[in-house]
Amino acid sequence: MAWLLLLLMLFLLGTNYQNNLVMGLSFLLLSIFNTCILYSYRNLAGLTLSRAQTTANTFAGQACYVPVHIASKHNSYEVKLNFSEQPIEIAKKVFGPPQSALLNILHTHRGLLKPGRVKVESRYPLGLCRAWSYVDLDIEQVIFATPIQNNISLAISSQDSSEIEDTGRLVTGVDEFSGLKDYVKGESLKQVAWKQVAQGRGMLTKEFQQPQGTPLWLTLDTSSDDLELSLSKLAWQTEQLSSKQQIFGLKLGANSIEPAKGEVHRIAVQTQIALYPNNLREVNHD
């Protein structure tokens, strides 16, 4: 508007004083403004956005970064991307194969996050005109409950004398194959990995593990009236047990997850905690 007001004033001054140079300048400014409209549109025309297949898991209260792939058949500059009322991510130059842009979402609640449509905007080249569009990529993200440190009691068998810190840990046994190690003279030939020997990799011995004691079970503290606090305590215990590579399960309402360990199991447990109760909570930023 300031640009248009300026060229209007120049045009009026040029006609009033019959100054062709001032009138020519106003026409030049008008042609630049018209050209910016075309360039702003062209900067977004042909742009392709797609949702990334994998996203990082985030806890409530932390910044959530959603990767979006952006590509263009021609050079596109200063492309702005963001969700509604969220920080803006700027792609300085887009050309050729898809490149990743991390869109930031600020949130405070656990549950299923649906940030809504992605706003794509361009003010290229001079910032005089703005071209924009809204793209629905159907993005969903599970936000884990905020871990809160606690000393919640873990449900284990009363007949098991193992310490909680050791229960569920994997020790040398015969149940699960864990890997290969160098053969030590005197070890049983039944445990030798003969397939690797045939491949010329030398004498290797198979190692097996088994869980120590009775597996741990995480359960919801029903004595507390604060559901969110109880779920946050479960989230903290999940992180602690996972970091120690202990085998544990989860009993939450009518649902349960069998004892296991590993990153896949940790995500499954945290997801169940985040989406409890069964009527999924939605964090909607539309």
Q: What are 194-221's pLDDT values in tens digits?
A: 666 677 766 777 665 555 556 788 888 7
Between CA 121 and CA 140 the distance in angstroms is: 22
pLDDT above 80: residue 28: yes
Boundaries of domain holding 83: 48-144
Mean pLDDT of 269-273: 91
Mean pLDDT of 176-186: 60
State the average pLDDT for the chain.
Answer: 78
Sign of CA dihedral 19, 20, 25, 29: positive
Are residues 19 and 61 both part of a single domain? no
Number of domains in the chain: 3
Question: For 18-22, 102-106, 205-209, which range has the lowest pLDDT when averaged over its residues?
Answer: 205-209
**Between these two residues, 160 and 145, which has the higher pLDDT value?**
145
Residue 73 resides in a domain: yes
**Mean pLDDT calculated for residue range 30-51:** 88
The percent of residues above 90 in pLDDT, for the chain, comes to: 7
Query: Is 279 among the domain residues?
Result: no
Domain co-membership, 63 together with 140: yes
CATH of the domain at 121: 2.60.40
Q: What is the mean pLDDT of residues 37-45?
A: 89
**Is residue 179, in this structure, part of any structural domain at all?**
no
Residues 87 and 9 in one domain: no
Q: Which residue has the higher pLDDT, 127 or 169?
A: 127
Range 116-134 average pLDDT? 89
- Taking only the tens place, the pLDDT of each residue in 71-81 is 988 888 889 99
Range of 154-158, 208-212, 221-225, 278-282 with top mean pLDDT: 221-225
Number of residues in the chain: 286
pLDDT at 122 over 70: yes
Same domain, 19 and 96: no
pLDDT at 156: 45
Band of the pLDDT at 278, cuts 50, 70, 90?
low
